[in-house]
Chain A
């Protein structure tokens, strides 16, 4: 459910991190500042999609987790 980031499309602007109301995203300094979900807090994602709305380059997609599909 938390967003997935396409590191090739991402321009590292950080808008997704800024607008995530859950505060569960960060720019990963070890991976060239590609955004990532903070693993420990991934279940706090509200799947509101604000990160994707904020993304200027279409780098964000969602994969719904198993527990929402059963």
Chain B
């Protein structure tokens, strides 16, 4: 890695660029060190606390290749090929192959897993999967910083904290680098690279409100707002399933905390206001089936008046299991869980936990080949797999190929005139003194206002078209925004990514004329269309979105 000072800021040159320092970026850094690659990772926050993993994690999914019928690569690949779109068998096999080395690193940095009764690690079933693939993490709140301690010492791996990435660069269909600014000093940074792994976060929050109307009170990090999709899309990457990948979960009432996988897979029962357990109507695996079914089932009960309130009931657990869930797993997933419990007087052994449907988060995947290379040459997708396991292993797998391909390319040269022009534009809100200028909240709140109203769990095509027009109106005010400091400038750039992703989501939804595959129902297309059992691909062509359908890969 080399850095030179320029009149506009600092120019870094690195063989492989890692965009994002969350779990995926860390997986990429670990693989880079194995391959003796020269890499620079940059992202917002510090390596010790950034991303959703910074808030903790209580589960790691891993196939361990035991004698059990479900516990092998074939079973794992088959499950995801049947239940998701856009994966290739080769990609999933590589995810599987990354379980062992990633678990070895987690062990090395002191991650504690709940032990199994007969030795080994305790494992449980989740998300309608065919077997017990989920390991329970006891000290999840410190994983991020334990990994950070290791990564900061790796040879060849440099870390640049506190960077809001504003865009990527490409030339002739190949990635060349990125730029952004330091959110504390304001310095502009640009990075030229040979190849890049994008690890900017698979899950975008702040697209919708939950019942508390605080968009930062959400279940995954609120500081990831869609740049994984939007910034890659702008340089030519194709995005898959921006429509049906939107999702949510059940939340503890009033609080954006994850953890429902732990509650469901240990056997929690969801109850409606009448104290009835109802999920059997919506999923053959009840609460431990597909999360979409739990949300849509709860939504249906609510529409029919059987709630709110809704509860997760753990009173039938053994005292040991109830204790493990409340006092080990939940605080491993979020450090402040027990503060919430104390404030509300929650005791899983004695009273059901009141829950509610959370806000919709947007997601998708970048279209990638069997080597995780996107439709932009040299740009590899690090966040295409789900959960903490998928993030860490996904970065690890993508880096394997990105490091190899760095040998194929010369160091890119960036157009410094372009960087100066973008810097001028990016910083413009700091100079905007107009009396009618919009603050970051003036600009961002209407995005959620539109999404909450027109793009909830029940919607229709005319409503989504109208929503798109209203998002266009918001976009037309982009030049009128102001920021009184770097903090607000950072939030504005997050909002720009969010707005673009919401537009991408709605426009994609207009292409899919059916209900039941995503986490919403269309009144004008209420049924599932078997002919649409495929992925929707969107790519920027001549400045406009171009759509195509992706058949599921042959099983």
Q: Of A41, A46, A69, which one neighbours B55 at CB under 8 angstroms?
A: A46
The answer to the question of A53 belonging to the interface, with a C-beta cut-off of 8 Å to chain B, is: yes
Asked if residues A46 and B254 are in contact (CB atoms below 8 Å), the reply is no
Asked if residues B222 and A62 are in contact (CB atoms below 8 Å), the reply is no
The answer to the question of A13 belonging to the interface, with a C-beta cut-off of 8 Å to chain B, is: no
Asked if residues A44 and B254 are in contact (CB atoms below 8 Å), the reply is no
Q: Of A22, A52, A53, which one neighbours B223 at CB under 8 angstroms?
A: A22
A21-B49, A46-B222, A54-B49 known; A64+B335 contact, CB < 8 A: no
Asked if residues A53 and B145 are in contact (CB atoms below 8 Å), the reply is yes
Listed by A's residue number, 26 A-B pairs whose Cβ atoms lie within 8 Å are A20-B49, A21-B46, A21-B54, A22-B222, A38-B487, A43-B214, A44-B222, A46-B55, A46-B216, A46-B217, A46-B222, A47-B255, A47-B336, A48-B336, A49-B56, A49-B336, A50-B54, A52-B336, A61-B339, A64-B343, A67-B212, A67-B213, A67-B214, A68-B212, A68-B340, A69-B343
The answer to the question of A9 belonging to the interface, with a C-beta cut-off of 8 Å to chain B, is: no
The answer to the question of B48 belonging to the interface, with a C-beta cut-off of 8 Å to chain A, is: yes
The answer to the question of B221 belonging to the interface, with a C-beta cut-off of 8 Å to chain A, is: yes
* Contacting residues, chain A, for B56 (C-beta < 8 A): 48-49
Asked if residues A23 and B49 are in contact (CB atoms below 8 Å), the reply is no
Main secondary structure of the interface of B (DSSP, over half): loop
The answer to the question of B141 belonging to the interface, with a C-beta cut-off of 8 Å to chain A, is: yes
* Contacting residues, chain A, for B340 (C-beta < 8 A): 47, 64, 68
The answer to the question of A45 belonging to the interface, with a C-beta cut-off of 8 Å to chain B, is: yes
The answer to the question of B344 belonging to the interface, with a C-beta cut-off of 8 Å to chain A, is: yes
The answer to the question of B45 belonging to the interface, with a C-beta cut-off of 8 Å to chain A, is: yes
Asked if residues A68 and B255 are in contact (CB atoms below 8 Å), the reply is yes
A49-B141, A68-B340 known; A21+B50 contact, CB < 8 A: yes
Asked if residues A50 and B183 are in contact (CB atoms below 8 Å), the reply is no
Asked if residues A19 and B48 are in contact (CB atoms below 8 Å), the reply is yes
Asked if residues B487 and A23 are in contact (CB atoms below 8 Å), the reply is yes
Residues 177-231 of B at the A interface (beta carbon under 8 Å)? 183-184, 212-214, 216-218, 221-223
B551 CB → nearest A CB, Å: 39
* Contacting residues, chain A, for B218 (C-beta < 8 A): 46
The distance in angstroms between the C-alpha atoms of A22 and B45, with both chains bound, is 8
Asked if residues B334 and A49 are in contact (CB atoms below 8 Å), the reply is yes
* Contacting residues, chain B, for A67 (C-beta < 8 A): 212-214, 254
The answer to the question of B490 belonging to the interface, with a C-beta cut-off of 8 Å to chain A, is: yes
Using A21-B50, A46-B218, A47-B256 as known contacts, list a sample of 10 further A-B pairs with CB atoms less than 8 Å apart, ordered by residue number in A: A18-B46, A47-B217, A48-B54, A49-B55, A50-B49, A53-B49, A53-B145, A64-B340, A68-B255, A70-B254
* Contacting residues, chain B, for A8 (C-beta < 8 A): none
Residue among A18, A20, A48, A67 with max Cβ neighbours from chain B (10 Å) = A48
A9 CB → nearest B CB, Å: 17
